[in-house]
Amino acid sequence: MKELKFKPKDLNKSLVKQQKVSLENQLELCKCYDLLDKTIQEANESTNMVFIKNQASKVEVLEFELQRLWNFDIDKEYHRYWLDFNACRCPRMDNLERLGYGRIVNLNCPLHGDDK
């Protein structure tokens, strides 16, 4: 197995306990976080908007996967990594403060401006 940057010990322990996350899922979570990091980093090093949008779609899939592995409800309203793209022009802090209550999207954001 490839060495993980993100280790099970890096996971929030009380959350692991609260959500009863199995050891197997903890390892899967680490793989997901590694991939998430890499995907966002690659996007942020690029100026190719098609590539960046594609990376953003991958991150969305990963966010759903994270929710599943954490035994959380599968709910797009609680996603947060879509705000980590340098190309994103949506208000980051406002969105993080109101997770679960609907997104505030900047219509001029090249990544999310046309979200329905």
Closer residue to Zn ion, CB minimum distance, 1 or 93: 93
Assess 90 for contact with Zn ion (CB under 5 A): yes
111: contact with Zn ion by CB under 5 A:
yes
In whole angstroms, the minimum distance from the beta carbon of 78 to Zn ion comes to 16
* CB-based contact 19:72 (threshold 8 Å): yes
Closer of 79 and 112 to Zn ion (Cβ): 112
| Least distance in angstroms from the C-beta of 93 to Zn ion | 13
Q: Maximum distance among all alpha carbons in the chain?
A: 42
The interface region with Zn ion, picked from 2-10, 22-30, 59-67, 84-92 by CB under 5 A, is 84-92
52 binds Zn ion (CB under 5 A): no
Residue 25 tokens read as 């899922």
- Number of residues near Zn ion (by CB under 5 A): 5
DSSP string, 31-69: HHHHHHHHHHHHHHT---HHHHHHHHHHHHHHHHHHHHH
Reference 52, options 98, 91, 6, 84; nearest CA is 84
Is position 79 an interface residue for Zn ion (rule: CB under 5 A)?
A: no
Phi, psi dihedrals of residue 103, rounded to the nearest 5°: -80, 145
Q: Tokens representing 88?
A: 């994103």
Least CB distance from residue 32 to Zn ion, whole Å?
21
Site residues for Zn ion per CB under 5 A: 88, 90, 109, 111-112
